[in-house]
């Protein structure tokens, strides 16, 4: 009886984890791990300020599971490699805070300062190509 209950709890936990990241119904396989030890990319790989350790730490802890180590996304998860060419920092902060298209809201999970650090770092990705 205890084993059945434990199995049920584990299955429910797994299901919640899949739902939180939006699932992955695409036929494409998940992106391969980066060759940089699972860290966010260095400057030049996708642009931006790679020296912002706080932003990289936040990305690795909160975003990497869905958006990949190289910010390339995959399946239902969009690439963030050039997100700065599409959205400014305030738009990115709004998306992080409120969620969008299956992405969970991080308001309440991250502080306003953490959201601002992360959104500024992501906005710098390919910022030079912004029109």
Whole-number mean pLDDT of the chain? Answer: 74
Tokens read off for 60: 């690795």
CA-angle at 25, arms to 32 and 30, nearest 5°: 0
Which phi and psi (to 5°) does residue 28 adopt?
-70, 140
Output 112 or 24, whichever has higher pLDDT.
Answer: 112
49, pLDDT greater than 60:
no
Question: Looking at residue 126, what is its pLDDT?
Answer: 73
The residues, ordered by sequence, that sit 6+ positions from 110 with a Cβ below 8 Å of its Cβ are 58, 62, 96, 118
46 confidence band (pLDDT: 50, 70, 90): very low
70 pLDDT band (50/70/90 cuts)?
very high
Task: Write down the pLDDT at residue 13.
Answer: 56
Report how far apart, in Å, the C-alpha atoms of 46 and of each of 30, 80, 105, 120, 127 are. 19, 9, 25, 14, 10
Structure tokens at 20: 């939180």
DSSP 127: G
Structural contact between residues 59 and 40, judged by C-beta atoms closer than 8 angstroms: yes
Answer yes or no: is pLDDT of 56 > 60: yes
> Quick one: tokens of 94?
């709004």
- Rounded Cα distance between 110 and 92, Å, is 14
pLDDT mean over 83-109: 94
Per the model's pLDDT, the better-predicted residue between 96 and 29 turns out to be: 96
**113 pLDDT exceeds 90?**
yes
Kindly tell me if the per-residue pLDDT of 103 is higher than 70: yes
Rg of the chain, C-alpha, whole Å = 16
């Amino acid at each position: 009886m205890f084993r059945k209950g434990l199995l049920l709890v584990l299955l429910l936990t797994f299901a919640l984890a899949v739902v939180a990241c939006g699932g992955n119904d695409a036929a494409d396989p998940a992106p391969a791990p980066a060759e940089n030890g699972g860290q966010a990319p260095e400057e030049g790989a996708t642009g931006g300020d790679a020296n912002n350790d706080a932003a990289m730490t936040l990305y690795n802890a909160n975003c990497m599971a869905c958006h990949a180590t190289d910010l390339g996304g995959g399946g239902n998860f969009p690439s963030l490699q050039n997100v700065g060419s599409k959205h400014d920092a305030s738009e990115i902060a709004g998306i992080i805070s409120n969620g969008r298209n299956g992405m969970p809201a991080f308001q309440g999970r991250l502080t306003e300062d953490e959201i601002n650090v992360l959104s500024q770092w992501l906005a710098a990705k390919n910022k030079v190509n912004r029109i």
